Structure 1
C-alpha cells in the first residue's frame, strides 16, 4: 500500500484492511515501518472523526465505585452526609469544590472529569 493521508471513510477502511494484513510485521522492516505509520494515521483519523467524550462526573463516580466494590454508604463516608450523597447520585445537587477534592483523593478520579457540568 502506498502511504497517504486518510481523508475519507474509504481511505480509512483501506488503511484498516492493510493494517490487518501487516499486523504481525517485525520492527525495523519495510512492513514494520508501514505498520507504525499506518497506526499513527488511523489514530489521527479516529480522534478527529470518532472522538470519545469524557463521562459526566456522576457516571465516573458510579463507575469507580463499582470498580472498587463500594456502595452508597461507602460514598457517604467520603462525602459526609447521607442526604448529600443521595442528592449527588440523583443529580439534584452539583458537586462542591470540597467534594471534588475528596472524591479526587479517595477515588482517584481526575479532577477535570469531576469539574465537568452535568
Structure 2
C-alpha cells in the first residue's frame, strides 16, 4: 500500500477521487484499509488547510437561526424581546435557563 502525505490541493483532490472509488470496499480488505488511511489523511489536511474556529454562543444561535429559518422574533418568544435584543447585540450574557430554552426549541 503506497500512500503519500497530502500536501497540496491537487493531492487533496486526488485523495478524494480515490476515496470515492474505494467507498464500497469490503470491511477487512486491503481496499478498506487504504480507505481508512486516506480518510484520516484527508481529515487532517482539511483541518489544517481550512480550520473551523469554534463559534461563540451568539454565533451559534445565529447559525442555528439561519439553518432552520428562524428569526430574532423566535428567540424573543423564548427569552423575551428585550433580552433577545441584548443577547444578539452581545450586551447581555446568556443564562443557563436561557441556554436550556433555546436548546430545547
Please indicate, yes or no, whether the TM-score normalized by the shorter chain is above 0.5. Answer: yes
CA displacement, residues 95-118 of structure 1 (integer Å, 9 cap, x when unaligned): 32xx24223222239xxxxxxxxx
**In structure 2, C-alpha distance between the alignment counterparts of 1:15 and 1:104, rounded to whole Å:** 41
Aligned: 1:103 with 2:102: no
- Aligned ranges for residues 18-97 of structure 1 at < 5 Å? 18-65=18-65, 67=68, 72=73, 75-76=75-76, 78-79=78-79, 81-89=80-88, 91=89, 93-96=90-93
* SS of residue paired to 1:108: helix
**In structure 1, C-alpha distance between the alignment counterparts of 2:30 and 2:49, rounded to whole Å:** 28
CA contact (8 A) 1:78 1:106 kept: yes
Q: How many residues align?
A: 103
TM-score relative to the length of structure 1? 0.66
Please provide the CA RMSD for this pair.
Answer: 2.9
Could you tell me which runs of 5 or more consecutive residues in structure 2 were left unpaired when the two chains were aligned. none
Q: CA deviation at 1:23?
A: 1.5
Higher RCO (Cα < 8 Å, 6 or more apart): 1
